[in-house]
Amino acid sequence: MLKVGLTGGIGAGKSEVSRLLASYGAVVIDADKIAREVVEVGTPGLAAVVAEFGPGVLAPDGSLDRPGLGAVVFADEARLKALNAIVHPLVRDRSAELEAAAGPDAITVHDVPLLAENGLAPLYDAVVVVDASEETRLHRLVELRGMSEAEARSRMAAQATRADRLAIADHVIDNDGPLGDLAPQVRKVWEALRERAGDLRGA
């Protein structure tokens, strides 16, 4: 099995790259998606969050009030650490389950937004970074996601720098241009990953 880490700054277009890799045959394991699943209604994860933060973090339907919880944890580093201490082990365990189910010959792509920030590059056989300029990312966040410029800049500033991400990259996908330029680059990276997986099997 080849374990690939996929990352990129907010607004870089990582989701589209992830979708293309899945269409080529990668088994994509999305950390953000799993983080939502492990705190769904009825899960031990949600019960643990409520035990830590109180019932005020629940929406009227019993689900997690994400914006409300976000307002608490992003204003207080200690509370954020408490939340991560609950969620991160659950995400790690679920990711391991999905990886095991993929089979020994799979190429698993772990979509990890904070891969650089959390020093996770050594966990993977290869790291793919989706790169775009700050100006391009800001434009996408404001025009396509409807963020205010201040919010977009704040989100971008909270992440690793572009240089930090590029420093850990084995493959860089330049997503500064039009969408049509993306697929050929992703296909080229996919072929390189397949070749690497073949080398590992032959070793």
- The answer to whether residue 202 is domain-embedded is no
pLDDT of residue 71: 82
- The answer to whether residue 201 is domain-embedded is no
pLDDT of residue 202: 63
CATH number at residue 114: 3.40.50.300
Domain count, the chain: 1
- The answer to whether residue 49 is domain-embedded is yes
Positions in the chain short of pLDDT 70: 201-203
In angstroms, what CA-CA distances link 99 with 25, 71, 146, 190? 14, 33, 34, 18
- The answer to whether residue 57 is domain-embedded is yes
pLDDT of residue 39: 97
pLDDT of residue 114: 87
pLDDT of residue 199: 79
The pTM is what? 0.84
- The answer to whether residue 151 is domain-embedded is yes
pLDDT of residue 200: 72
- The answer to whether residue 199 is domain-embedded is no
